Structure 1
Amino acid sequence: MTEADLVLGMLLAAGFALLGALITYGNVRQARALRALEEAWRDWAERDLQLKRERERRSLQAPPDPQAYLNRIARSLLGREAVRWERTEEGFAGDGLLLSPLPPEAVEGRGFREAARVDALAFEDAWVAETLSLMHAGVPEPRRWRLYVRQRPGRLPRPLARVWS
């Protein structure tokens, strides 16, 4: 092996090292650019979704038959319906049921216990909470509504009553 072969080998090794460093640098730059692009895309999508939700919220209207709408919510969550619903300060009350945005602590003293949270995923209507707020206060607000059941003093809950009776 001559000196020329040694120099040529070192030049090749240095060239491959330089090529590897340039490729690595390019990959880092490209990854940084992709992260910035992804962040910009995510920000745009969130803003677009907020605009669309606000547009939908402004065009929201109360259902034509409020009694049927409230019964559909109660039926899908508890399997029960109320003969007549009344609008109260707490929300909507009917036949031992209370549909309200109040937290459980505020309702427990009135003889109710929380039965279910009203979640939009359980209904065809994607704006259940806003629709209930519109029906109650006249303004569609995103609130967390809950369905409460009146507690009967001295009685076992239904599943235990079947076992112990």
Structure 2
Amino acid sequence: MDKIKIGVLTCSDRAAANIYEDISGQEIIKFFEEVLQNPWEPIYVVIPDEKLEIVSALTSMAEVHQCALIVTTGGTGPATRDVTPEATEEVCDKLLPGFGELMRQVSLQYVPTAILSRQTAGIYKQSLIVNLPGKPSAIRQCLEAVFPAIPYCLDLIGGPYMDCDENKMKVFRPK
């Protein structure tokens, strides 16, 4: 069985400059290590908050590395340098606004500033791209909320069959 490739893209000026460790990207990898039963391989990249670099990384992960799923972290707030959603929207063929809606709804249970978050998701060729926030605890909360729909979404776009440990993450596929 081929390994499923999952892109993990951290968009952070400070992490890219090694000013601090990229805990957010590591949290995403840890989540997939816990829930996936398939063999998988992370394609892990840390880049600055630059729209052209984000677009380039997303297209490379999809086209060159053949990532079925690409998960970004960072750059989803209202600050001037936060451009991850714009880069994602530029790349995607179809947007899936329900992902961002659900992530904001879940995050609002923890912080009132979740309404400032601009996470989104979409399809580029045969890759699902999901923008997550940059805070590690918010990453876990958001992934736990949206992940149950991800394996079925991959099925629908012709991606690999993603199998999960049902004791850790129940996914939804219609019967």
TM above 0.5: no
Higher relative contact order (CA 8 A, sep 6+): 2
Q: When you count helix as a share of all residues, which structure comes out higher?
A: 1
Largest Rg, 1 or 2: 1
Please give the TM-score of this superposition, normalised by the length of structure 2: 0.27
